[in-house]
Amino acid sequence: MEQKRTELSQLGEFGLIERIKNNFSLQNPTSLKGIGDDAAVINAGTENLLVSTDMLLEGIHFDLSYMPLQHLGYKAVAVNVSDIAAMNGKPEQIVISLGLSNRFSLEAVDALYEGIKTACKNYGVDLVGGDTTSSPTGLVISITVMGRAAKDKTVLRGGAKANDIICVTGDLGAAFLGLQVLEREKEVFKSNPKMQPDLEKYEYLVGRQLKPEARMDIVHELAEKNIVPTSMIDVSDGLASELFHLGKNSNVGIKIFEDKIPIDSQTYDTAIEFKIDPTTTALNGGEDYELLFTINPTDFEKLKNHPDIHFIGHTHDNAKQNVMISKQGTVVPLQAQGWKHF
């Protein structure tokens, strides 16, 4: 009898997550929110405890030929902290599991932990535990972060109402193009090792790829202004994909304006150089780790002059309609690009 074999690629990441989610239910009263947001929510007395985990694998998430170990350590913490930021929470603890092959020296591990330590300091996080093991091949980094948020200030993906304003921080697409530049330079170097890479022109992009920051500054500023977003997510897979998550979880439609999407001039110029539409890098690029959130229109006054928050559109009550109004004024349906690892 032949056994059935279904490829994971037929489901994709989101399909697989959905399948797991549907197969598990929550039993403990302390489990307030399970799979399906940036972090799980656990009851911790007067506050909520937020928990999120991310695994980074060499050859999939990073390439040590251009990723210095110190930056990698920093980034591994930052991307986890970003998930807590996306819940409007404050990160407090991390545990780290490392799989190391014997090609890593103690000095290499020290460099990795230097980056981890710098990130812990910057984000006010304590390293409280972990597991260290040998790996048969590449480097594996798995981090779980724990954070806190007041019960009435914990922000999920599913709280947006129709006519909320859609906001995004910073600028988008740079990290993706930084990766393209690094990959190109790696190929150039392989064919001619004497060639010195000239990355100065792409400094911002490469920095965004190698050393992203979690936008905890925004979380603190929102608290100062007494604003609780109605929904929030961090931009790890690309703006379009994250907009779909907010829309689907909140049961609202999305309308954004192409000319409002924040794109840095270096991102714009380099996209053109790579013959990619700059808007596409912002919509589908990923790894920006900016915050995408919705606010009640009554909060707009308090944020409208913020130099680093951009108002790119609004939600509406037709949950099936997710569109972008192009620079030419045409209505373009938004495409959710999944993640394509498998």
Q: Which stretch binds a second copy (CB under 8 A): 126-134, 176-184, 280-288, 311-319?
A: 126-134
The torsion region of residue 329 among left (phi > 0), alpha (psi -120 to 50) and beta comes to: left
The answer to whether 337 contacts a second copy (rule: CB under 8 A) is no
- DSSP-derived pairing of the beta strands 231-234 and 291-295: antiparallel
Given candidates 190, 201, 304, 341, which one binds a second copy under the rule CB under 8 A?
341
Distances from the Cα of 341 to the Cαs of 10, 20, 150, in angstroms? Answer: 12, 18, 35
Please state the closest distance from residue 79 (CB atom) to a second copy, in A.
10
- What does the alpha-carbon distance between residue 178 and residue 186 come to, in Å, rounded to a whole number? 12
Strand order in the sheet with 140-150: 31-33, 40-44, 47-57, 140-150, 90-100, 126-134
Given candidates 102, 196, 226, 305, which one binds a second copy under the rule CB under 8 A?
102
- What does the alpha-carbon distance between residue 250 and residue 288 come to, in Å, rounded to a whole number? 23
The answer to whether 93 contacts a second copy (rule: CB under 8 A) is yes
The answer to whether 188 contacts a second copy (rule: CB under 8 A) is no
| Nearest residue (CB) to a second copy, 231 versus 266 | 231
| Nearest residue (CB) to a second copy, 63 versus 269 | 63
Given candidates 7, 198, 200, 301, which one binds a second copy under the rule CB under 8 A?
7
Given candidates 128, 272, 331, 332, which one binds a second copy under the rule CB under 8 A?
128
| Nearest residue (CB) to a second copy, 133 versus 192 | 133
| Nearest residue (CB) to a second copy, 2 versus 301 | 2
Residues 29-58 contacting a second copy, CB under 8 A: 30-31, 33-35, 39-40, 42, 44-47, 49, 51-55, 57-58
DSSP 60: T
Contact in structure between 116 and 74 (CB atoms under 8 Å): yes
- How many binding residues for a second copy (CB under 8 A)? 80
The answer to whether 81 contacts a second copy (rule: CB under 8 A) is no
Strand partners, 50: 41, 147
**In this structure, how many other beta carbons lie within 10 angstroms of the beta carbon of residue 9?**
11
